[in-house]
C-alpha cells in the first residue's frame, strides 16, 4: 500500500484501526520527498528528523491508549511564511534566508497540539507577492501535472507538495488568491476562510487586512477537517473573531436541495478558457438538477476589484516591509553609514517583484496621492463588500471561475500587469473578507486541471463546503480523478 497516495481521512482510518503507524506514514512521505522533490522543488526546508520524532511520540501515545486528537500522527506541510519554532522562515526571500522563527504560529501550535508531525516548509513567491511562484528567490517549483508549467502562487510549494503526494495536506496563505489559484493549477481543493476565522498570528504579513491562512487538500472532506481544527478565536490576534465554530463535516452530505446559487454575468465570465466556461455551465445545470435554485445577477463593481486590490495590497506591503532594514533581524549588508547600510540591505535583500510593489504602495501612500489612490481604493473596497452583503441576502453562494485558464508556462507572463490579471476572479473575496473554495472539476484538452470557485457570505463556510461537496460529485460524474 502506497500510503503517500491516500487522503488524510483514509490515513486517519488506517492509523486508528492499527493497520499502520504514524512512523509508517511519515516515512512514506519522506521517501516520496526524496524521490520527487528534486524535480518538483516543493520544499525549501524538509524537517525529516523532527517529523519522525513526532511520529514516534504519536505511536507511543496510541500504544498507551491516549491520543491528542483524531489527527494524531497525520503529518502536514507548512508554507514558508508561517512560523515554525526553530525552523527557517524564509518567505522565499534572501532577506530572511537565514532567519529562524523563535515561536510557532497559532495554527502550527494547533497542529502540534493535535499531535501532527510537520514535514517541512514549502516554497513560495517572495513575501507571498506573486501568482506563479516564479518570484521565489530561493528555488523553482514546478507543476506536478506538467513540469513546464507553473504551480500557481504564491502558495505554489504547498500545492505542488500535495499534488505530488509529498504531503497529505498543507497550509498556505491567501491574500488575493494565493491558496485558490495554486489549487486550480494543481488540481486540489483550496480553502480561503473568512477573514478572522483562522488566526493570522505567526503569519509574516504581506497585506494585513487581506491576508488569511488557508488549506490545500485532495478533497473537500479533508479541507473541512483541517479548517475545523484551525478555526476559532485567538486572544493574541486582534483580527481573530470570537465566534462559534460550527461542525463543518456535518454539512458535507446535505446536498443542493433548496440552495440558492448565484451566477454573475457580464465581465465576470469574459475571457474564460472554453473548457472552464463549459464546466461552469454544466455545473450550474447539475446543481439545478440536484434541487438548487440558480439565479443570475449583475455586479458591475467587480470590474474595479483588481485595481482596488493592487492599490490596497501594495500600500499595506510598503508599510509592512519597512521593518526589514538590516537592524532588527534578517539580512544586513554593511555600508559606510546607516543610510547606505539600509539602502544596500533592501536592494540586495528584496527581489524585483517585491521592490515593484513597495514602490507602487509608497507612491499610493505619499503626500498628494493618498486621497486620490489609497483612500479612494478603500472607499471602493467598502462598496464592493456592501455589494456582496446585499447579494448574499438573495443567494447562499456564488458559483464562478477561479482562474481564467489552466496553468501557464514559465516566463509566459513577463508583463507585471498580465500577471496581476491572473488574480481577477480571486481578489474580490479577499477585498470583502469572504470565504471561498476552489474545487477541481476536470482536465482541459492539454491534460491540465481546471476547476470552479464557490464563494459564500462572511462566516458561512458551511454553505461553501456544502456546495463544494456537491461540486465534487459533479466532478466525479465528469470523470475527474486526481
Distance CA 107, CA 199 (A): 7
Q: Determine the structural domain holding residue 85 and report its residue range.
A: 1-298+398-482
Catalytic residue from among 28, 83, 93, 154:
154
- Determine the 3-state secondary structure of 339 from DSSP: helix
- Copy the grid coordinates of residue 170: 498543507
β-strands 436-443, 189-192 pairing? antiparallel
The pLDDT score that the predictor gives to residue 481 is 85
The string of DSSP letters for 362-375 reads HHHHSTTTTIIIII
φ, ψ of residue 122 to 5 degrees: the values are -105, 155
Distance CA 421, CA 404 (A): 9
The pLDDT score that the predictor gives to residue 270 is 67
- Copy the grid coordinates of residue 316: 499595506
Distance CA 77, CA 211 (A): 19
- Determine the 3-state secondary structure of 39 from DSSP: helix
Structural domain contains residue 354: no
Q: What is the pLDDT along the chain (482 residues), one digit of tens a residue?
A: 799 999 999 999 999 999 999 999 999 999 999 999 999 999 999 999 999 999 999 999 999 999 999 999 999 999 999 999 999 999 999 999 999 999 999 999 999 999 999 999 999 999 999 999 999 999 999 999 999 999 999 999 999 999 999 999 999 999 999 999 999 999 999 999 999 999 999 999 999 999 999 999 999 999 999 999 999 999 999 999 999 999 999 999 999 999 999 999 754 566 899 999 999 999 999 999 999 999 999 998 999 999 999 999 999 999 999 999 999 889 999 999 999 999 999 999 999 999 999 999 999 999 989 999 999 999 999 999 999 999 999 999 999 999 999 999 999 999 999 999 999 999 999 999 999 999 999 999 999 999 999 999 999 999 999 999 999 999 999 999 87
* Average pLDDT score over the chain: 97
- Copy the grid coordinates of residue 169: 495536506
Distance CA 361, CA 315 (A): 4
Structural domain contains residue 313: no
- Copy the grid coordinates of residue 274: 472554453
Number of domains in the chain: 1
Q: From 72, 160, 70, 170, select the one nearest 120 (Cα to Cα).
A: 170
Residues contacting residue 480 through CB under 8 Å, at least 6 positions apart: 440, 441, 442, 443
Is this prediction's pTM over 0.95? yes
3-state helix, strand, coil in the chain (%, to 5): 45, 15, 40
The pLDDT score that the predictor gives to residue 267 is 47
The pLDDT score that the predictor gives to residue 55 is 98
- Could you tell me if 98 and 140 are in contact, meaning their C-beta atoms sit under 8 angstroms apart? no
The pLDDT score that the predictor gives to residue 1 is 75
Residues contacting residue 156 through CB under 8 Å, at least 6 positions apart: 123, 124, 125, 132, 133, 136, 141, 150, 182, 185
Task: Please say if 79 is a catalytic residue.
Answer: yes
The string of DSSP letters for 113-144 reads HTTPPEEEEE--SGGG--SSSTT-SS----BT
Which residues are 451's β-sheet partners? 440
The string of DSSP letters for 83-99 reads --TTSB--TTSGGGTT-
Task: Please say if 85 is a catalytic residue.
Answer: no
Residue 196 backbone zone (phi > 0: left; psi -120 to 50: alpha; other: beta):
left
Residues contacting residue 328 through CB under 8 Å, at least 6 positions apart: none
Distance CA 441, CA 419 (A): 24
- Could you tell me if 149 and 160 are in contact, meaning their C-beta atoms sit under 8 angstroms apart? no
Catalytic residue from among 22, 28, 58, 79:
79
Q: What's 9's domain CATH number?
A: 3.90.1300.10
Q: From 267, 285, 225, select the one nearest 441 (Cα to Cα).
A: 285
Structural domain contains residue 453: yes
CA angle 214, 216, 217 (to 5 degrees): 135
DSSP 167: -
Catalytic residue from among 109, 132, 136, 178:
178
Q: From 326, 309, 453, select the one nearest 384 (Cα to Cα).
A: 309
Task: Please say if 154 is a catalytic residue.
Answer: yes
Structural domain contains residue 370: no
- Determine the 3-state secondary structure of 150 from DSSP: coil
Q: From 266, 280, 225, select the one nearest 70 (Cα to Cα).
A: 225
DSSP 273: -
Structural domain contains residue 241: yes
Distance CA 426, CA 184 (A): 11
Amino acid at each position: 500500500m502506497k500510503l503517500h497516495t491516500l487522503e488524510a481521512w483514509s490515513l486517519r482510518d488506517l492509523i486508528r484501526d492499527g493497520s499502520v503507524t504514524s512512523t509508517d506514514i511519515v516515512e512514506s512521505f519522506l521517501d516520496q520527498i526524496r524521490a520527487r522533490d528534486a524535480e518538483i522543488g516543493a520544499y525549501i526546508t524538509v524537517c525529516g528528523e523532527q517529523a519522525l520524532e513526532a511520529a514516534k511520540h504519536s505511536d507511543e501515545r496510541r500504544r498507551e491508549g491516549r491520543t491528542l486528537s483524531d489527527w494524531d500522527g497525520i503529518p502536514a506541510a507548512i508554507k514558508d511564511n508561517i512560523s515554525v519554532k526553530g525552523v527557517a522562515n524564509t518567505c522565499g526571500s534572501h532577506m530572511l534566508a537565514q532567519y529562524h522563527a523563535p515561536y510557532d504560529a497559532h495554527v502550527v501550535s494547533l497542529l502540534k497540539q493535535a499531535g501532527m508531525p510537520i514535514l517541512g516548509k514549502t516554497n513560495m513567491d517572495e513575501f507571498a507577492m506573486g501568482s506563479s511562484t516564479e518570484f521565489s528567490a530561493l528555488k523553482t517549483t514546478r507543476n506536478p501535472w506538467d513540469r513546464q508549467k507553473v504551480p500557481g502562487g504564491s502558495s505554489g510549494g504547498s500545492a505542488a507538495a500535495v499534488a505530488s503526494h509529498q504531503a497529505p495536506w498543507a497550509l498556505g496563505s491567501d491574500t488575493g488568491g494565493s491558496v485558490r489559484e495554486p489549487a486550480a493549477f494543481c488540481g486540489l481543493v483550496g480553502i480561503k476562510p473568512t477573514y478572522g476565522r483562522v488566526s493570522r498570528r505567526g503569519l509574516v504579513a504581506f497585506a494585513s487586512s487581506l491576508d488569511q491562512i488557508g488549506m490545500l487538500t485532495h478533497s473537500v472532506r479533508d479541507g473541512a477537517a483541517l479548517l475545523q481544527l484551525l478555526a476559532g478565536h485567538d486572544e493574541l490576534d486582534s483580527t481573530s473573531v470570537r465566534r462559534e465554530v460550527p461542525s463543518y463535516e456535518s454539512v458535507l452530505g446535505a446536498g443542493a436541495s433548496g440552495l440558492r446559487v448565484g451566477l454573475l454575468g457580464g465581465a465576470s465570465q469574459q475571457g474564460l478558457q472554453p473548457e472552464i466556461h463549459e464546466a461552469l455551465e454544466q455545473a450550474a445545470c447539475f446543481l439545478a438538477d440536484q434541487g438548487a435554485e440558480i439565479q443570475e445577477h449583475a455586479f458591475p463593481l467587480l470590474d474595479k476589484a483588481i485595481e482596488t486590490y493592487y492599490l490596497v495590497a501594495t500600500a499595506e506591503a510598503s508599510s509592512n516591509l519597512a521593518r526589514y532594514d538590516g537592524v532588527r533581524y534578517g539580512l544586513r549588508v554593511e555600508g559606510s553609514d546607516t543610510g547606505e547600510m539600509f539602502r544596500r540591505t533592501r536592494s540586495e535583500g528584496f527581489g524585483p517583484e517585491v521592490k515593484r510593489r513597495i514602490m507602487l504602495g509608497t507612491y499610493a501612500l505619499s503626500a498628494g496621492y493618498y486621497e486620490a489612490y489609497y483612500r479612494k481604493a478603500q472607499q471602493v473596497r467598502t462598496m464592493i463588500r456592501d455589494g456582496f452583503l446585499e447579494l448574499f441576502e438573495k443567494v447562499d453562494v456564488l458559483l464562478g471561475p477561479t482562474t481564467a485558464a489552466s496553468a501557464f508556462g514559465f516566463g509566459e507572463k513577463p508583463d507585471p500587469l498580465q500577471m496581476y490579471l491572473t488574480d481577477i476572479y480571486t481578489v474580490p473575496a479577499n477585498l470583502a473578507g469572504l470565504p471561498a473554495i476552489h474545487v477541481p472539476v476536470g482536465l482541459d484538452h492539454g491534460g491540465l486541471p481546471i476547476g470552479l470557485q464557490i464563494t459564500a457570505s462572511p462566516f458561512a463556510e458551511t454553505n461553501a463546503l456544502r456546495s463544494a461537496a456537491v461540486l465534487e460529485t459533479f466532478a466525479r460524474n465528469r470523470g475527474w480523478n486526481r
